[in-house]
Each structure stands twice: as C-alpha cells, then as structure tokens.
Structure 1
Amino acid sequence: MPELLATTLSALGEWEVAQALTQGRWSYATVSALHILGIALLVGGILPLDLRLLGFWRSVALQSLAAILTPMAVAGLLLAISTGVLLVSVRPLDYAGLPVLWAKLTLIGLGAAGALAFRLRVGRDPERASRRLRVLAALGSMTAWLGALACGRLIAFTGP
C-alpha cells in the first residue's frame, strides 16, 4: 500500500468520530442503518428511471419521472457515501485490503460518471437522447449500481 494512502487511512481510523463509532452502543448501528437508507434511495430512484429509459412504462413522461427520481437518487448517493466513509473509518486499514471494496468503489465511480455524462449530454430532458444512448446509459447504470450493491453485500462475508 502506498505510504500516503496508509497515512491517510491511519488518520481516518484515529479520527474522533471513528473512535465514537467503535465505542458507542448505538452509533455504529445508526450509521449502518443510514447507509442502507442511502442505498435504498439511490437504487430505488435510479432503477425505475433506468427501466423507463429501456422502454418500460411508456405512458409515464420520462422527463417528469427523471425530475422526481434524480434528486432522490443523488440524495441517496450522498448519504451512502458519507455514511460509507464513517463505516470504513472504524477499521480503515483492514477495509483497504479488501478487493471487493475497491471493486465497489470503482463501480460507484463508474455509475456516478455515467449518470453525470448522460446528464451533461441531454440536460434535464432525457427524451433528447437517442434510443441507443438511452439503452446504453440504462444498461451501464444498472450494471454499475447493482454491481456496487452486490459488492457492498459481499463485504459482510469477506470483510474484517
């Protein structure tokens, strides 16, 4: 592990908040529950939108659906990231040694980058995208977010 990364992770583990999470009876459980809520908001927002991009529920206006679900998914992503950092902070060096965590982080980065690229390309109106672009964006998004979800769950079985 590169020295800068090891130093940063060690500092994260010594952070007052990380110490409080390891010592409090309900603090870690609360943060874990909030992490799950963030994931639910993210996947619960993005998956129906991806399915609509693939052609499901054609009677529902894509732009209206995106206006509701995109902010929900973004809020979920921000909550999941912030609580994820807190969860990792209790044993950062141990978590850093897990390939499945790095796979999860990579998939999160790909999912976020894909969503941002799609948004920059079509603006607030996803109907402007070609059918091909909508299908590619939806399949890439579903792969990234469901893959990240699966990797996150695997951490429980392979983690510290």
Structure 2
Amino acid sequence: MQPILESLAQTDIATYLRNSRWGFAAVNTAHIFGISILFGSVLTLDLRLMGLWRKVPIAPFSYALPRIAAVGLALAVITGILLFSVRPNEYVALGIFRVKLALVSLGFLAALLAHARGSLHNDDRRQQMVMGAVSIFCWAGALICGQLIAFMA
C-alpha cells in the first residue's frame, strides 16, 4: 500500500495542489460544494422518509433527490481523491479518515440497497424510518469526520 500512496503523492496534480494555494482552495471549495449538494438532497429525502411532509407524495422526492445526490457524491469523490493525493500517508494514518470512508461506503451501500429493493416506494413506514435514520447517521457522520480531518491533519 505504501508504494501506491507514494506514487499518488508524486503525481503532477498532487504536486500542483501542494504548491498552489488557489488550486488547493478551488478543489477544496468544489469538494465542499459536492458535499453540500449530496447532504442537502439526502437529508431532504431522509426526512420525508421519516415522516416529514407526509401530505406531499414521496414520488417527486424519490425521483429528483437521488439524482441530485449522485451528482454531489461524484463531485465530492473526485475532489476528495484530489485532496487526498496531497498528503495520502498522513490521511491514511488518521483513524477518523478511515471512519469517514467507512461511513461514506455504508451510506452509499444503504442507498443502493434501498433503490434495488424499491424501498422508497413501499408503504412500510417502519422500513422507511430506519432507512432514513441510517442514511442521516452515515452522511452526517461522514460530514463531521471530514471536518475533524481538517483539524487533525
């Protein structure tokens, strides 16, 4: 694993980001923008699943918000890899970084499972509440861990 991390840290883009205040700032801003898109759309859908706005049909939520979340996730992952490339050895050494990756993975897998099972469109309120709570836990936890990484690395 160490040779892979060293190679990543030596890429041209990693070197550029390490040495460019504005380049790093632009990628970091794009990362936060991606997280905002992801978390805002996921939180809205999860709150609907958990019972808020019951008078509003779930169909518009379940159609638009997962697509918006996917765009946010893609932007966050791409920019996250770029940010990681700047100091990969330091990030991998942080336990909180590994927790963040686990929470993002769990949140993503839970979303895939929910969509594969059609859970967004069934009438099982308990299942929807559990899905919403797990999702909020994963994505909010990942967000908090990411913020902590900024202060620990």
TM-score, normalised via structure 1 length? 0.92
Q: Does 1:23 align with 2:19?
A: yes
d(CA) in 1 for partners of 2:74, 2:35:
10
Name the counterpart of 1:118: 114
d(CA) in 2 for partners of 1:48, 1:25:
34
Does the CA contact (< 8 Å) of 1:21 and 1:28 recur in 2? yes
Deviations 1:10-49 (A, max 9, x none): 1110111111111223110000000000000000000010
d(CA) in 2 for partners of 1:109, 1:127:
23
Flag structure 2 segments of 5+ consecutive residues without an equivalent: none
Alignment equivalent of 2:140, drawn from 117, 129, 146: 146
Q: What one-letter code is carried by the residue in structure 2 that aligns with 1:151?
A: C
> How far 1:129 moved relative to its partner?
5.0
TM-score, normalised via structure 2 length? 0.96
d(CA) in 1 for partners of 2:87, 2:65:
34
Deviations 1:94-128 (A, max 9, x none): 111000000000000000000000000007xx222
Flag structure 1 segments of 5+ consecutive residues without an equivalent: none
Q: What one-letter code is carried by the residue in structure 1 that aligns with 2:64?
A: I
Name the counterpart of 1:157: 151
Q: Which moved more, 1:128-137 or 1:67-76?
A: 128-137
Q: What one-letter code is carried by the residue in structure 1 that aligns with 2:118?
A: V
Q: Does 1:137 align with 2:137?
A: no
Q: Write out aligned runs for 1:98-117 (5 A).
A: 98-117=94-113
d(CA) in 1 for partners of 2:90, 2:134:
30
Once the two structures are aligned, what percentage of the paired residues are identical?
Answer: 40
Deviations 1:53-72 (A, max 9, x none): 00100122111112111111
Q: What one-letter code is carried by the residue in structure 1 that aligns with 2:25?
A: A
Alignment equivalent of 1:63, drawn from 54, 59, 66: 59
d(CA) in 2 for partners of 1:113, 1:127:
18
Root-mean-square deviation over aligned CA pairs:
1.1
d(CA) in 1 for partners of 2:133, 2:10:
40
